[in-house]
Amino acid sequence: MLNSFTVASLCFVSDTLYFLCVSEICRCLTCVCVFSGSKACVRIQIKGEKAPELLLELQDDDRTRLFLTQVKSAQRQVASKLTKPKAMEPLAPTPQRGPGPIPPQRAAKTPSAVGVGENSANTFSALESSLNDSTSTNHNTTDPAHMLADFGFEEKFNNTQRVEEKKNKQNRMVASREPPPIPPLPPRKASVPPSNPLPPTPIPKDKPTAVQARGNSAVPSTKSDSFRSGYDGVDKPASLCESPTTKTMPSSPSGQREFLIKHCLGKKEKEYVDIKHFSFFVGTWNVNGQSPDSSLHPWLCCDPDPPDVYAIGFQELDLSTEAFFYLDSSKEHLWIDAVERTLHPKTTYRRIRTIRLVGMMLVVYAKKLHRKHIRDVAAEHVGTGIMGKMGNKGGVAVRFVFHNTSFCFVNSHLAAHVEDYERRNQDYRDICARMTFHLLEQPPLNIVKHDVVIWLGDLNYRLSMSDASEVKQLIKENALKKLQEYDQLTHQRKHKRAFTDFIEGDITFVPTYKYDPKTDRWDSSGKCRVPAWCDRILWRGSSIEQLKYRSHMELKTSDHKPVSSLFKIGVKVADEQRRKKVFEEIVRAMDRMENDFLPSVSLSNINFTFPDVKFRQLQKERFLIKNDGQVPCHFAFIPKLSDSQYCKPWLRAEPSDGFLEPNETLEMYLEVYVSKDSVTLLNCGEDTICDILVLHLDRGKDYFITISGNYLPSCFGTSLETLCRMKKPIREIPIEKLCDLGEDTFMEKEKSKVTFLMADGASSDDIPLKIPKEVWVLVNHLYKNSCDQEDLFQTPGLQEELQSIIDCLDTSIPDSLPGCNHSVAEALLIFLEALPEPVLCYELYQRCLDCSHDSRLCKQLISQLPRAHRNVFRYLMAFLRELLKHSTNNNLTASLVATLFASLLIRPPPNLMSRQTSHDRQKAIDFILGFLMARDEE
C-alpha cells in the first residue's frame, strides 16, 4: 500500500517521510507506534494490519520532538474514534495549526519511501508486478491533501496533487458504475448478462428526485433503472449476459497511474514483442438436434500435427422447446464428451471456455503448455430471435489474450429461409452491436476491438437460384466458381451490407446443406431444398494465413456437413528484458511530466439537442475530444452527486472512457435510445430529454456537456387503464392530460370508473374502452392475416417495419398495419413487455403461482383483475386458442405459446425478480396453459 502510494504521489522524499509515518498511523486503524531513544537519535517502529512494518531513525532535536508530539496526538485521535463511535454525530473540527515544523534530517532512508529520478527505479519491480495482476484492489485511503494540511506539510507537497484535489474534491470518490447499454444497429431486442431460462421483468423506475445544483447549472437527478448492457431493443435477460465484473477505471491515484502505464506499454509494444506463429483449428457443424452417433475423428484429427488451439462451434444442438427458452440441455455434455474423446492424441489439451445459448455452443481448447500464457478469458452471448431474446438464433463468443495478442471467436446461427438475407444481415449487425465483454478494471470490449476475430457458424446465406436440379447439375460438373456467383454472402459482403471487413478463403468443397440425415444424398423431402454453402468460416486481423478450408463428408449424422479451417496466426510474444526496459523508460518519463504538467482536453461541442425522440428509435450525435495538453490523460464520464450512473437510462456515451496521447483526437458519440425501461417515465412527463454529463480528467478538471430534446409520447409503455381512457391517438393528447390520466393507482382508477359509469347522464364519449384500441388493432390484424403464417411468434420482424407500426399506432387509429405478419406479431409482444404493470398485476403474482394447479381458482383470480387487465387477458387467450387451431400450418404448440406469453403476462414484482426460480416460471407457464387448453367459453 505504502509503496504504490509513494510511486503515485510523492516527489520529495526528504519532506514527506514524516507525512508517511502519520498517514500510516491514520490509515491502518490498529496501528501501533513504539518509541525508543538514545542520545543521538530517536527510533520509531510502526506496525499495522494494513501496512508493512517501518523502522525509522530521526535526529534527537526540537523539531523531532515537536513532530513526535503531533504523531502521538494523531494516534490518540484515531484510537478515540475507534472506541467511541457515535452514529450521526458530527466530528469536532480540527484546530488550525500554525506554520508546520521543519522536518529534521533523516539518519537513514526507508525502503518504502522512494522519490523521482535515480530512486524511482527501485519501484519498478513492485509496480510492474501490480500491473500484471488483473485483480488488483483499490484501497480507501485517507485524503493526502487534508493529512498534509493537518501536519503542516502542505506547502512542501507536490503542486500537481494539490491542484487536482482543490479542483475535483467533489469527484474524488467515483461510484463504480456499470457501462451503459449498447444500441442495436438497427435497434433490436435483448441486453445485459449469464443464463436465465426466461426473459426478466422490466424493473419499474423511481420518480425523479429534486433538482441539484452543480456549479451554476441545475441538474435534474433521477434514480436510474436497472442498468443493462443493451437497450430494450437489445434487452438480454439479466442472467444472460451480465458479467460479474463491470468496473472501469480505478479511482485511486496509484490505480490510475498503473492503467496509464499499461496504455503506454501497449502503444510501444513493437519495441519489445516478437511475432511467433501458432496453428489454430476452427470447426463448425449444425447437428440438427441429433446426438453424436459416430467418432468425430475425421473432423477434429484430420491433420497430422496437433493444432495449438481448437475453437469448435455447434448449431442446433438441441431443438426442444425447453432449450428454446434457455433451459439446460443434456446434449451439451454429450457433444463435449464426443469432442474431448477425439482431440488430437499427440498432445494434451485444456479446456479454456465453453458457452452455450440454446442450440449454439462454442468450446475452446489449448495445448496444456500454452495455458499459462492465456489470460483475460470472457464469454458472452446474444439472442436475435423474436424480440431479440429467444436464443434460437444469435451468437455466442469467447475472447482471450494469448501472449500479447487478443482473440475473439464468434459462433452464430443466423436467420433461415432463402429470401430472408436482410434478416441475416440484421442478425449480424445486432450481434456486432450487442456483443460486449466486461473484464475486471477494463472498459467494455466489443467484437472488433480484438487483434484477431474468427467468425464461424451456420450463417444460412443461400444461393439465389430457385431450381435445385440446376444447382445439383452444376455441382456434378464441379462448376463451383459459377455457383459462387449466386452466393448471397458473397453479394452482401461485396455491397458492404454484412461482414464487410472480414475475409473468406476460396471455397473448393461442395455445398454443405442440405442432405438427407445419415446419408450423402441431397434433400429428397417435399421441400427439396436448394443446396447451399450455409456453413462458413471468416476472419479479420493481421498476420493470419489460412492453410486449409474444407468440409468433412464422412460425417453423416446431420443434414449439414461439418466444415473446418486450419490457420497459421502470428502471435505477439513479449521479450521480458526489452519489455522491462521500455517499462522503466515510461515510468521515468511519466514521473517527470506529472510534476510539470496537468492534463487538458478540448471538446468540439458541449451542447447537444435531439429533436423528436421516439420509442425504440436511435439518435446519434458526434463530437471530437482532443488532448491539447502535454501529457497522456485518461478521461471518463462520472456520476453527478447522489447519482449511481453517469447518465439517464435513455442516454449513452461511446466510448464512456479512454486514454488520449498528447495531440491525439478521438471521435465520440452521444446516443439517445428510449427503451422499455425508460419509456414510462417519459410518457407520463416525470422525465424529460434533459441531462448534463460530467466528463472527468484524472488529475485534471471536469467538463460539462448538456443534453436536451423533445420526446414524442408512445402508447408503448403506457398503462392499460390510461389507454382505455384515450379515444384518440396518444400524440394528439396534450402531455398535461396524459399526466392526469396516469396519476392514480390502478385500484383507484377502477373505483373511479365504476362510480363514473353509474352516474346519470354519462355520455358515451366518457365511457372507457373495454380494451385499448392499440391491442385490438394488433390482434385483429394477426387474426385476419396470420393464423396460417408459418413460424408465427418464432421469427423476428424487420426493424424498419416495427418502427413504422409503432409510429402508426401512436399517430392514428389505422384500419390496417404496415409490415409483414412477423413484424406485427413482434410489435404485440413488445407492447406487452413494455407495459408498466403486466396484464396479471404485480400484487396478484404470488396468488397466480399458488393457484396454477387449479383451473377454478385461476378463473376466480382473473375475475378479480382490474377491468382493463381482465378484458385484455381474456381477449388474448381467445386469440391464442384460435391460433392453436391452425398449428399444422403455423408450427405453434400450446407449450411454446404458453412459455412465451407467460414471460410477458405474468412477471414477478421487481423485488422478487432475483428470487424467481425455474419452478416459479413453470407455474406461470401452467397458469397460461390451462387457459389455452380450455374451451372457448368466455
What does the pLDDT read at residue 265? 87
What does the pLDDT read at residue 918? 86
Q: Provide the CB-side half-sphere exposure for 331 (13 A, CA).
A: 23
What does the pLDDT read at residue 188? 35
Retrieve residue 106's grid coordinates.
533523516
Q: What percent of the chain has pLDDT over 70?
A: 69
A 10 A CB-CB count for 644 gives 12
- Bridge partner list, 625: 603, 666
What does the pLDDT read at residue 159? 44
Of the listed ranges 109-113, 823-827, 879-883, the least confidently predicted one is: 109-113
How, if at all, do strands 405-413 and 374-383 pair?
A: unpaired
338-353 tens-digit pLDDT: 999 999 999 999 999 9
Which residues contact residue 717 at a Cβ distance below 8 angstroms, ignoring those fewer than 6 apart?
A: 615, 676, 679, 680, 682, 683, 834, 835, 836
**How does the average pLDDT of the chain come out, rounded?**
78
What does the pLDDT read at residue 69? 74
Packing angle of the helix pair 894-905, 918-932 (nearest 10 deg): 120
Band (pLDDT 50/70/90 cuts) for residue 318 is confident
Question: ∠ CA(678), CA(680), CA(686), 5° rounding?
Answer: 90
Of the listed ranges 235-239, 272-276, 322-326, 834-838, the least confidently predicted one is: 235-239
Q: Residue 644, SS3?
A: coil
Secondary structure element (H or E) that encloses residue 577, with its range: helix 576-596
367-380 tens-digit pLDDT: 999 999 999 999 99
DSSP string of 194-232, one letter each residue: S--SSPPPPPPPPPP--EEEETTEEEE--PPPPP-SB-G
What does the pLDDT read at residue 145? 40
Residue 358: Cβ-neighbour burial (10 angstroms; 0-12, 13-18, 19+): buried
Band (pLDDT 50/70/90 cuts) for residue 386 is confident
What does the pLDDT read at residue 385? 81
**Residue 807 reports pLDDT greater than 90:** yes
Q: Residue 565, SS3?
A: strand
- Bridge partner list, 374: 402
**Residue 20 reports pLDDT greater than 80:** no
**Residue 8 reports pLDDT greater than 60:** no
Q: How far apart are CA 329 and CA 317, in angstroms?
A: 8
Which of the pair, 634 or 248, is modelled with greater confidence?
A: 634
What does the pLDDT read at residue 79? 63
At 923, which amino acid appears? K
What does the pLDDT read at residue 526? 84
Retrieve residue 393's grid coordinates.
438464433
Q: How far apart are CA 450 and CA 461, in angstroms?
A: 25
**Residue 313 reports pLDDT greater than 90:** yes
CB 715 within 8 A of CB 832: no
Which residues contact residue 331 at a Cβ distance below 8 angstroms, ignoring those fewer than 6 apart?
A: 289, 291, 317, 318
What does the pLDDT read at residue 237? 33
Going by C-alpha positions, the residue among 546, 474, 465 that lies closest to residue 506 is 546
What does the pLDDT read at residue 421? 93
Helical segments of 242-371, H only: 253-267, 297-300, 321-324, 331-341
Retrieve residue 565's grid coordinates.
479451417
Q: Residue 515, SS3?
A: strand
pTM of the model: 0.67
Q: How far apart are CA 214 and CA 171, in angstroms?
A: 12
Q: How far apart are CA 724 and CA 717, in angstroms?
A: 14
36-84 tens-digit pLDDT: 555 456 666 666 554 556 666 666 676 677 777 777 776 676 666 555 4
745-772 tens-digit pLDDT: 444 445 544 444 433 444 555 688 999 9
> CA 799, 803, 805, 809: dihedral to nearest 10 degrees?
160
The arithmetic mean of pLDDT across residues 454-464, rounded, is 97
Helical segments of 84-201, H only: 124-131, 144-150, 159-167
Q: For the sheet containing 607-613, what is the strand order?
A: 607-613, 702-711, 690-697, 633-638, 657-660
What does the pLDDT read at residue 34? 52
Of the listed ranges 94-103, 403-412, 635-644, the least confidently predicted one is: 94-103
Going by C-alpha positions, the residue among 500, 432, 450 that lies closest to residue 184 is 432
CB 363 within 8 A of CB 379: no
**Residue 786 reports pLDDT greater than 90:** yes
Secondary structure element (H or E) that encloses residue 73, with its range: helix 62-83
What does the pLDDT read at residue 255? 63
**Residue 185 reports pLDDT greater than 60:** no
Band (pLDDT 50/70/90 cuts) for residue 90 is very low
**Residue 7 reports pLDDT greater than 70:** no
Q: Residue 537, SS3?
A: strand
Which of the pair, 248 or 458, is modelled with greater confidence?
A: 458
Which residues contact residue 534 at a Cβ distance below 8 angstroms, ignoring those fewer than 6 apart?
A: 286, 458, 459, 460, 461, 462, 511, 512, 513, 560
CA 309 to mean position of chain CA atoms: 27
At 631, which amino acid appears? V
Going by C-alpha positions, the residue among 502, 278, 582 that lies closest to residue 405 is 278
First to last CA, the chain: 71
Band (pLDDT 50/70/90 cuts) for residue 256 is low
**Residue 85 reports pLDDT greater than 60:** no
The arithmetic mean of pLDDT across residues 866-890, rounded, is 95
> CA 208, 213, 215, 218: dihedral to nearest 10 degrees?
60
**Residue 11 reports pLDDT greater than 50:** no
- In degrees rounded to 5, what are phi and psi of residue 8? -80, -35
Helical segments of 728-884, H only: 735-741, 746-758, 773-785, 799-811, 821-834, 845-850, 855-863, 867-884
Going by C-alpha positions, the residue among 275, 830, 156, 344 that lies closest to residue 574 is 275
The arithmetic mean of pLDDT across residues 872-899, rounded, is 94
Highest mean pLDDT out of 216-220, 306-310, 439-443: 306-310
What does the pLDDT read at residue 51? 52
Q: Residue 169, SS3?
A: helix
Q: How far apart are CA 143 and CA 146, in angstroms?
A: 6
A 10 A CB-CB count for 61 gives 13
What does the pLDDT read at residue 738? 65
CA 680 to mean position of chain CA atoms: 23
Band (pLDDT 50/70/90 cuts) for residue 389 is low
What does the pLDDT read at residue 229? 35
The arithmetic mean of pLDDT across residues 130-140, rounded, is 43
646-685 tens-digit pLDDT: 999 999 999 998 889 899 999 999 999 999 999 999 998 8
What does the pLDDT read at residue 743? 54
Q: Residue 912, SS3?
A: helix
Secondary structure element (H or E) that encloses residue 704, with its range: strand 702-711
